[in-house]
Structure 1
Amino acid sequence: MKTRHKRFILIMLGLLLLSGAAVLVLNAFNSNLVFFFTPTQVAADEAPRGKAFRVGGMVKEGSLLRDSETGRFVVTDTQKDVVVLYKGMLPDLFKEGRGVVAQGRLNAQGEFVASEVLAKHDENYMPPEAKHAMDQAAARRAPETTKP
């Protein structure tokens, strides 16, 4: 076999290995990708069924029910609500009327079963996606003014 053929085979083998590694990396990235949805999007059935995603907004006042190991609360974007169930200890900063992002899946009853709950960490912070969704919902609710 000529040196030229050997070099060609080595280059092709290297490209094949690089392609295989790229496919594995992209597959791992895609399987760990978690999208964010607002309660309005979840209510409109835009959220994936059977796949993990994040839902964020404000914890609705008066909606928090806790027992020894489970928490149940409602996340709202002031337009639609999503019931969230969480088994475990809620974060210390978690309170009604504050921002929250929960990661999990929808169950058969349409409730969001969270595997992780993240509370806002200071008075000025809200996830950008949740802030944007809250602003959009407020804009839709605001009465439109017309000029005479």
Structure 2
Amino acid sequence: MVDGPISPSVTAEPIASAATEDAFRDALDRLSRKVDEGNFERMRWARDEAPKLVRLVELVKGAVNDRADIEINEEGGEGNTKRFVIKVHGQRIAALALALDKGRAIASIGTIERSEFAVAPGKPIHTKYANVDEAWMADTLGQLMERIGG
């Protein structure tokens, strides 16, 4: 038997707002950063940024998935950047790089060793990560590939 009345907060449905959850997450992040800033940053990156970079890689590979003549192969990367080689008919043509920086997705293209094709100079293409989708990736890759052979 329960002593006394049951608190309304116990019987009420939990009310969780996004703002409350964000504030709590932010408080936990501040505590974690105070205790060990290096570990916090690694864990924050793994939690928040790594999945975004994985999604960028999926979008790049998906963009040419139906093409037997064109491959975009991941060649490595470090931190917030992934590097790829664009191959056409098995020939290494150009280097592609994707990065995340301050909430933005950035794509650039450049020359690669052993390629007969030059890449015209141009600025990287970037947008807020929230704008990244299949259409953005296809448009971006199309613009970058137009620079090959220029």
Interval of TM-score (by shorter of Structure 1 and Structure 2): under 0.3
TM-score by length of 1: 0.24
Q: Say which structure, 1 or 2, has more relative contact order (CA 8 Å, 6+ apart).
A: 1
